[in-house]
Chain A
Amino acid sequence: MKSTRLSLSPRAAERVIKVFVWAVALSIMAVLVSIVVFILYKGLPVINAGFLTEIPRRMGREGGIASPIVGTLLVTALAVLLATPFGMGTAFYLAEYTRDGAVTRIIRFSAESLAGIPSIVYGLFGFIFFVMYLNLGWSVLSGGLTLAVMILPTIIRTSEEAVRSVPTIYREVSFSLGGTKWQTIRGAVFPSAVRGIANGIILSIGRSVAETAAVVLTAGSALRMPDGVFAPARTMAVHFYILASEGISMDNAYGTAAVLIILIFLINIAANMLIDRLATKGR
C-alpha cells in the first residue's frame, strides 16, 4: 500500500518521538534550574547570620527577615495541622465509609470547585469571615485558617486518590485475619496510602509557603515578631512581594526568595524522610 501523505518510517518516527520527549523533559528541567540558580545567585550573597536572625528595619531596607521566617512557619504549620485531619477524614469517609451516591457527588463536586478558586478569593473570604466577622483580626490564626480552607480540597483529593489506589486484597487480608474496619484502615490501608497522602500534604505546604494574596489579607503584613497565634504576621512571600513591588530593596527581596526556596527544599527532604519511615514501618 502506497501512502500519498508525507510519512516517516516507523523507526524514524520512533527516533523523532524519542528526541521530542527528551527535549521537552530537558527544557522543563532547564527552566526550573535556571530559576533556582538565578534566585540563589542574586540572593545568596545577601544571606548571612544577621539576615536570618534580625528583624527587618526601615520597612525591610535594612535588617534581616527573622520575623517573616517565623511568620511563614507559624502560618503554614497552623494551616497544615488544621487541614490535614479534616482532609484525611473526608478522604477516608469518601473512599472507605460510604458508597457512591448523591452525598459523595456533592462533596467531591464541592472539593473540586474549591480547588479551582483563585487564592485572592480565599483571602477575601478569610478577611470578611475570620478577620472581621469572627473578629480574629489580622493574625497568624486568621491566616492559618484561611490557608487551611484553601489547601483542604487538595488534601482531600490527593488523599482520596491514595486511599482508593490501595489494592482491595490488602483490605480482604486484614478482614480475613480478624481485623475490624478501623484496624484494617489503620494497619493495612493507611501504610499503603501514606505516601500518596503525604505527597498531597507536601504540595499543600508548598502552596501555603508560597501564598501571598490570601495571606496579606488575613495575617497582615506586620514587621515585628509574632508573639502568638493572635498576633499579626508577615510571611516571606508577602515580604518579598512588598519589597519588590514597592521598590524597597531588590537585594533583600532576592535574599528572601533564596531563603524561601531553601526552606521549601528542606521541607521536602524532611517530609520524604518522614514518609519513608512511616511507609516502611507500616504500623
Chain B
Amino acid sequence: MAVSENKITVKDLDFHYGEKQVLHALNLNIPPNKIFSVIGPANSGITTLLRAINRLSELSPDARARGDILLDGQSVYAPQVDVSELRRKVGMVFDVPAPLPMSIFDNIAYGPRLAKVRNKSVLAETVEGALRAAALWDEVKDRLRAPASSLSGGQQQRLCIARVLALKPEVILLDRPCSGLDPVSTAKIEDSLTELKERLTIVVSPHNIQQAGRVSDRVAFMLSGRLVEEGANAEIFSNPKDQRTSDYITGRFG
C-alpha cells in the first residue's frame, strides 16, 4: 500500500448526472483520525461527493465521474477494486434513520453476514461491540430481537452508525446524520463521533453551521459543486479567507 499522509485524496473530481455537472474540479485532502466537515447550502454537491467516495453514486445509471479519489493512496475507481470491499472500508450513514425492516440484532449483523461471517458467537460479539461504540448498547441490550422500527428516531440513527461500525470500517461518511433529530440525540451522536475519530476517519456533512463548529477538526466550504476554501476549524470560523465563506457562516445566505 502506498504511504500517504492523507486518508482520502480527491483529485480534480468532475461529477455528472447525465448532462448536469454536479462537481467541478474538486480537490480535497482528508487527513486520518480527524472529523472532516463539508459544509455548504443545499445543492452544493456535498451528498454527491460523499457518495462518490464509496461509489454509491454508481447506483444511478447516468452518473459519471472524471478525476480520481484515492483511499490510502490507491484509486477507488481502479478496475481491480472490489466495490463491496471498498464499501465495507468506507461506511455510510444516511440523512434519514434507515433501519432495515428486521430486528435490532439482524440490522447490525446485516453487513457482517453479507461478508460471510456465520459464527454465532463472533456475530454476537460484533453486534455488542458496535452497539457499545455507538452508545446504544445499554438502551437495547434487553431487546435485541425487537424490530428496529420500534426504536426512537435518535436511537435508529445510532443503530445505523452501529451497523456501519460492525464492519470495522476505516472511514465513515455521514450525510446530515442529525437532520430531524432532537438536541439530546444529536449530542449523543456528536459525542460518539468525537470518540470514534480515535480509530477512524470521519467525513460528515453537518446539518448546520453550529454543529460543524462543535465537532469538526477541519472544515471545507462548498458552493455550487466547487470548493471555496478548506482549513482548520478555527481558521474557517474565525478567519475565513473568502468573503463567501464569511457570508455563509455568519448566516448571510444558505
- Residues of chain A having any CB pair with chain B under 8 Å: 99, 169-180, 183, 187-188, 191-192, 279-283
Residue on A nearest B99 in the bound complex, by CB? A173
A33 CB → nearest B CB, Å:
34
The residue among B113, B114, B164 with the most chain A CB atoms within 10 A of its own CB is B114
Complex interface residues of chain B between 137 and 166 (CB less than 8 A to chain A): 147, 160, 163-164
- A172-B94, A282-B101 given as contacts; is B114 within 8 A of A177 (CB)? yes
B204 CB → nearest A CB, Å:
15
- A171-B59, A177-B88 given as contacts; is B96 within 8 A of A187 (CB)? no
- A174-B110, A176-B56, A176-B91 given as contacts; is B100 within 8 A of A188 (CB)? yes
A173 pairs with B59, CB closer than 8 A: no
Q: How far is the CA of A210 from the CA of B87 in the complex (A)?
A: 50
B85 pairs with A178, CB closer than 8 A: yes
Q: How far is the CA of A179 from the CA of B167 in the complex (A)?
A: 12
- A174-B100, A176-B91 given as contacts; is B61 within 8 A of A99 (CB)? yes
B54 pairs with A191, CB closer than 8 A: no
Q: Among A177, A192, A281, point to the contact of B87 (Cβ < 8 A).
A: A177
Residue on B nearest A99 in the bound complex, by CB? B61
Q: Decide if B236 is an interface residue (CB 8 Å cutoff).
A: no
A-B contact pairs, 18 of them (CB 8 A): A99-B61, A172-B56, A172-B94, A173-B163, A175-B87, A176-B164, A177-B164, A177-B167, A178-B115, A178-B167, A180-B114, A187-B100, A188-B110, A280-B102, A282-B102, A282-B106, A283-B102, A283-B106
B88 pairs with A178, CB closer than 8 A: yes
Which residues from chain A contact B94 at a C-beta distance below 8 Å? 169, 172-173, 176
B101 pairs with A192, CB closer than 8 A: yes
Residue on A nearest B98 in the bound complex, by CB? A169
Complex interface residues of chain B between 160 and 185 (CB less than 8 A to chain A): 160, 163-164, 167
A185 CB → nearest B CB, Å:
12
Q: How far is the CA of A283 from the CA of B164 in the complex (A)?
A: 19
The residue among A174, A175, A283 with the most chain B CB atoms within 10 A of its own CB is A175
B87 pairs with A176, CB closer than 8 A: yes
- A173-B94, A177-B111 given as contacts; is B102 within 8 A of A191 (CB)? yes
Q: Among B61, B103, B110, point to the contact of A177 (Cβ < 8 A).
A: B110
B98 pairs with A180, CB closer than 8 A: no
- A282-B101, A282-B103 given as contacts; is B59 within 8 A of A175 (CB)? yes
Q: How far is the CA of A281 from the CA of B115 in the complex (A)?
A: 19
A179 pairs with B54, CB closer than 8 A: no
Q: Decide if B92 is an interface residue (CB 8 Å cutoff).
A: yes
Which residues from chain A contact B43 at a C-beta distance below 8 Å? none
Q: How far is the CA of A175 from the CA of B85 in the complex (A)?
A: 11
A189 CB → nearest B CB, Å:
10
B163 pairs with A172, CB closer than 8 A: no
Q: How far is the CA of A177 from the CA of B101 in the complex (A)?
A: 15
The residue among A170, A171, A176, A191 with the most chain B CB atoms within 10 A of its own CB is A176
Q: How far is the CA of A173 from the CA of B88 in the complex (A)?
A: 12
Q: How far is the CA of A35 from the CA of B87 in the complex (A)?
A: 58
Which residues from chain A contact B239 at a C-beta distance below 8 Å? none
Which residues from chain B contact A171 at a C-beta distance below 8 Å? 59
Which residues from chain A contact B102 at a C-beta distance below 8 Å? 191, 280-283
Q: How far is the CA of A191 from the CA of B85 in the complex (A)?
A: 24
Which residues from chain B contact A173 at a C-beta distance below 8 Å? 94, 98, 100, 160, 163
Residue on A nearest B96 in the bound complex, by CB? A169
B42 CB → nearest A CB, Å:
19
Q: How far is the CA of A195 from the CA of B246 in the complex (A)?
A: 53
Q: Among A175, A180, A283, point to the contact of B56 (Cβ < 8 A).
A: A175
Residue on A nearest B85 in the bound complex, by CB? A178
Q: How far is the CA of A99 from the CA of B54 in the complex (A)?
A: 23
Complex interface residues of chain B between 56 and 90 (CB less than 8 A to chain A): 56, 59, 61, 84-85, 87-88
B115-138 vs A, Cβ < 8 Å mask (1 yes, 0 no): 100000000000000000000000
Residue on B nearest A170 in the bound complex, by CB? B100
Complex interface residues of chain B between 195 and 229 (CB less than 8 A to chain A): none
Which residues from chain A contact B167 at a C-beta distance below 8 Å? 177-178
Q: How far is the CA of A173 from the CA of B103 in the complex (A)?
A: 15
Residue on B nearest A191 in the bound complex, by CB? B101
Q: How far is the CA of A176 from the CA of B161 in the complex (A)?
A: 12
Further pairs besides A187-B110, A191-B100, A282-B103: 14, Cβ < 8 Å? A170-B100, A172-B59, A174-B100, A176-B54, A176-B56, A177-B91, A177-B167, A178-B87, A178-B88, A178-B115, A179-B114, A187-B100, A188-B100, A279-B101
